[in-house]
Amino acid sequence: MKQKKVTSPVRIAVFVSGGGTNLQALIDAQKEGKIRSGRICLVLSSSKAAYALTRANENEIPTAVADRKSFSNQEDFEAAIRAELEKHNIELIVLAGFLSILSPSFTRDWDRRIINVHPSLIPSFCGKGFYGLRVHEAALAYGVKVTGATVHFVNEIPDGGEIILQKSVAIHKSDTPESLQRRVMEQAEWKLLPRAVELVSQTMRTQNT
């Protein structure tokens, strides 16, 4: 009888800069078996003060810090990142609130192997300068009735890569940027990101068999 080939889970690095709520959603999904085709093997932060590092440590996930301000140029910054990725044999990068921009050279080298979650329905309220509360402030100022979140592949254009998944979230008349941000995270980001990670990891494993 021919033995079935066993393929190891795709090795994932999650890039963070702050509290790590999306990281926590990924960790929880992995524990619950919703992410089976990949495994978080590294959490890399652009800030040594990021609470996301604590979340990683509490779950025994290796961590690394690459502070852009500590490097004289983008090339050295990304060289440090590349070294960590190589050290941990990373195959897929997930940007989860990572506030440092990656160069076109870096994204080309990781073509279709970097995904990002953005708190709007791309192509609305996205691109350079749209991050965090700014996205929700813009949505409320414009008066749209529906917003949401998007998971997409990362390329050289900020928020310009191919869309993987989207989920809409209704805007309430009483919303503030803070309340809208929270609801988008709870109803869209924390659900979409684990699904996208499993989907992309599954595809990568299939291609490698």
**CATH 3.40.50.170 fits domain 10-208:** yes
Pairing of β 114-118 and β 92-95: parallel
DSSP code, position 43: E
**Digit-coded pLDDT (tens) for 51-94:** 999 999 999 999 999 998 899 999 999 999 999 999 999 999 99
**Helices within 41-122 (DSSP H only):** 51-58, 74-87, 104-109
pLDDT given at position 146: 97
pLDDT given at position 7: 75
Q: Which two tokens stand for residue 173?
A: 């008349």
Below-50 pLDDT ranges, the chain:
1-4
pLDDT given at position 1: 42
pLDDT given at position 5: 53
Instruction: Look at residue 193 and give its three-state secondary structure.
Output: helix
Active site residues per annotation: 118
In DSSP notation, 112-131 reads: TSEEEEESS-TTSS-STT--
pLDDT given at position 207: 83
CA distances from 185 to 5, 15, 20, 47, 87 (A): 38, 17, 12, 22, 32
pLDDT given at position 209: 62
What is the reported pTM? 0.93
